[in-house]
Chains A and B, each alone.
Chain A
Amino acid sequence: ELKVEQNPLFLSMQEGKNYTIYCNYSTTSDRLYWYRQDPGKSLESLFVLLSNGAVKQEGRLMASLDTKARLSTLHITAAVHDLSATYFCAVGGGSTLGRLYFGRGTQLTVWP
């Protein structure tokens, strides 16, 4: 079974600071996803990464994928309070598109 490890699991950071969340996975995959979840809510899609070296940016978030290292990163630039949420990476397993294996999530808290 495909294993997905995220770290850190908890992240508390000050507004304006930068930080990176890491996502390692155990076997080859052709797709990696990043999601955001606010408390009690569903998942919001942030990024879909499909190829080695893929880099995508949206606002203060940037995601990258290294398929050879089986590693994805989610970089946060100049954090603001609105980014406080739990962030999940998920890796595709098998040919069925939505068959995903999720990490445990990184709970991010941004404080003034």
Chain B
Amino acid sequence: SQTIHQWPATLVQPVGSPLSLECTVEGTSNPNLYWYRQAAGRGLQLLFYSVGIGQISSEVPQNLSASRPQDRQFILSSKKLLLSDSGFYLCAWSLVHGSGNTIYFGEGSWLTVV
């Protein structure tokens, strides 16, 4: 069966520090991968998605970047965090087609920028 893991689960970072959140998927090949952010009390907003290694699409201009160095690995990064980067970050994956068009979410990473 397929599983998705992301880490770290929680982190507190000072303003101006770098960030790296990692997400891996097991049990499937060539998935579409996604990074979402949820601000407090709000719905989710898509930040980046990737349909293949090295292919990154950005949905909103921001202080963050994403990379996909391997087929089942997706990394969210920042060189210098801002207070507004605080939130709940969720990695997700889907097949390109089939499997009921379901999108599967990871456990999430809580980021607090202080």
Contacts and interface: CB of A to CB of B under 8 A. Distances in A.
B34 A98 contact: yes
A69 to B, nearest CB: 21
B22 to A, nearest CB: 16
Interface in A61-112: 88, 90, 92, 96-105
B90 interface: yes
Contact of B103 (A98, A103, A105): A98
Interface residues of B, number: 29
A99 B49 contact: yes
Given A42-B106, A43-B90, A104 B42 contact: yes
Report, as a range, how many residues of chain A touch the other chain.
Answer: 20 to 34
Given A100-B46, A102-B44, A103-B43, A48 B90 contact: no
Interface of B: 32, 34, 41-46, 49, 51, 57, 59, 90, 92-97, 100-108, 110
